[in-house]
Chains A and B, each alone.
Chain A
Amino acid sequence: DGGITQSPKYLFRKEGQNVTLSCEQNLNHDAMYWYRQDPGQGLRLIYYSQIVNDFQKGDIAEGYSVSREKKESFPLTVTSAQKNPTAFYLCASSVGVWETQYFGPGTRLLVL
C-alpha cells in the first residue's frame, strides 16, 4: 500500500544526544515536510524539501537538521542544540509544495 511511514513511534533522548527520526514515502511525491506539535499549538514547520538534494528552513529550524539524498526519504536529526525537543513530530509529503499533504503516523520524542 502507498503511504508514509515514520519510525520509531516513541523515541527517548538523553541530554546532549543527537537522535534521528525516520520518514519514508512510496507515493512518488517530490515535496516532503517535518512538523512539530506541542500541546495547545498548531503544526509548526521545521524543514521542507521540494526536490532531492534541496531543502529549506521552516519557522523553527534551529536545533534541527535534515537531508534529502533520496526521493523516498527525509530523515530529521534533533541535535543537542535543540534545548526543548520533547514534542510530537509529524512528517508529510505532497506532489508539489502547494498541494494536499499526506501525513505519517508521527513520532513522540521524550527527553530522559
Chain B
Amino acid sequence: ILNVEQSPQSLHVQEGDSTNFTCSFPSSNFYALHWYRWETAKSPEALFVMTLNGDEKKKGRISATLNTKEGYSYLYIKGSQPEDSATYLCAQNSGNTPLVFGKGTRLSVIA
C-alpha cells in the first residue's frame, strides 16, 4: 500500500503572505501525482496532475513542482487570499491503480 504523507497538517497565514506545503510519496513505481483543493461544504476539485520529474504547473497564484526521484511535491500559494482557505490534498498512483490520498494540509488565510 502506498503511503502518501502531507505536511504540515494545518497552517494559518496572514492575507498577502506566500506559503507552501509538502507532499511526500514513495518514489518507486511512480505514475502520477495529483493535487486537489477541498473547500468547506464543497467537493474536492482537481488542481494539477503531474507525471514527469521536474514538472511545474501553475494556475493563477498557485503552482506546484514535482521531484519523482526523491519522492516529493511542493504546492505554493503566492499572496494568499481568504478564498484560498481550504484543505489541499495530494494523491499518487502507480500505473493502473486507484489514487492514494494523503491526509491533507488545512490552510486558513486570515484577513
A residues at B contact (CB < 8 Å): 4, 31, 33, 35, 40-45, 48, 58-59, 90, 96-98, 100-106
Report the bound CA distance from A45 to B99 in whole Å.
9
Report the bound CA distance from A58 to B89 in whole Å.
19
Q: A106 to B43, Cβ gap below 8 A?
A: yes
Contact with A along B38-68 (1 / 0, CB 8 A): 0000111110010000000000000000000
Q: B43 to A97, Cβ gap below 8 A?
A: no
Minimal Cβ-Cβ distance residue in B for A101: B99
Contacts of B44 in A (CB 8 A): 43, 90, 103
Report the bound CA distance from A97 to B89 in whole Å.
18
**Number of B residues contacting the other chain (C-beta, 8 Å)?**
23
B residues at A contact (CB < 8 Å): 1, 4, 31-32, 34, 42-46, 49, 89, 93, 95-104
Among B31, B34, B42, B103, point to the contact of A100 (Cβ < 8 A): B34
Contacts of A103 in B (CB 8 A): 43-45
Majority-rule SS of A interface residues: loop
Q: B46 to A101, Cβ gap below 8 A?
A: yes
